[in-house]
Structure 1
Amino acid sequence: MSQDKVGTIAGFDLTVQNADGVRDFYADVVGWKPEPLSMGDYDDYMMLAQDGNPVAGICHAKSSNADLPPQWITYIAVSDLSASLARVTEKGGEVVRQPNGTGPGGFALIKDPAGAIVALMQNPHTS
């Protein structure tokens, strides 16, 4: 995962009903090491490469993530999420999930004019 500079990939997440099973699948198939990330009453997982660097997240489809599609979602860091979302519709795209919050780390799902889904994330290193 990048250092979350504007315009770079800030991360990848997969949100599914059976996060534990999918976590084990990727651990066995590609060698990622799961690191639990407490969500209160359950854990999601930061998946680490062999060198210990985080490469992706595997999350339960619960709470505020319940409506996320079961596909890998790429997060792109933007400097101003609201302004970027306004440009999405101006440029022929669609906001398919409104922001989950404001400030650093807030994100929204968009569909580009070709129909591809991606997340725009308020740059975690700005305020």
Structure 2
Amino acid sequence: MPEKPIGQIMWRDLTVKDADQIKDFYSAVVGWKSQPVSMGDYDDFNMNLPESGETVAGVCHARGGNADLPAQWMMYVRVADAQTSVETVQKMGGAVLQGPRTMGEETYYVIRDPAGAVLTIFS
């Protein structure tokens, strides 16, 4: 079974009102190539390195469960136990903005730290 590195940033994406426009912006500015990812009624986008095609980020529409997310780059960090981490967030003056939510076998929460920065933690 592959190791799941606790504390590592595992993913990053940006949720915005107009993902079509913003994916074109980042394609022009940093050279990423976009690839549509079907979300049913619309597409979000994987952003891929131009030479290898490796997916390095996502650009998503602020719709559905993402409608209330701030327009900022979101990092996703693996934790040992999301529920335990959420309890610590609350004890230390942070807040849970969303969650628990699941994707496959993963449970995740969007949290805000005491300084106002937003991060997703998952296990």
Partner of 1:81: 82
Decide which structure has greater strand share. 2
Contact 1:37 1:45 in 2 (8 A): yes
Matched, 1:116 2:86: no
Calculate the aligned-residue CA RMSD, in Å: 1.8
Where structure 1 has 5 or more consecutive residues not aligned to the other structure, the ranges are 123-127
Shift of 1:101: 2.5
Q: Are residues 29 and 96 of structure 1, via their aligned partners in 2, closer, same or farther at CA, if it must alter by over 3 Å?
A: same
CA distance in 2, matches of 1:77, 1:104: 13
Normalization by structure 1: what TM-score? 0.84
Determine helix, strand or coil for the equivalent of 2:59.
strand
Equivalent in the alignment of 2:97 = 96
Query: 2 CA distance for matches of 1:47 and 1:27?
Result: 8
Tell me, in whole angstroms, the C-alpha distance in 1 between the residues paired with 2:36 and 2:107: 21
1:61-102: CA deviations, max 9, x gaps?
A: 111111111111111111211111111112232212222237
Contact 1:4 1:10 in 2 (8 A): no
Q: Deviations over 1:86-120 (max 9, x none)?
A: 11112232212222237634321112222221111
Alignment: residue pair count: 120
Show structure 1 runs of 4+ deviating over 4 A: none
User: Which moves more between the two structures, 106-115 or 43-52?
Assistant: 106-115
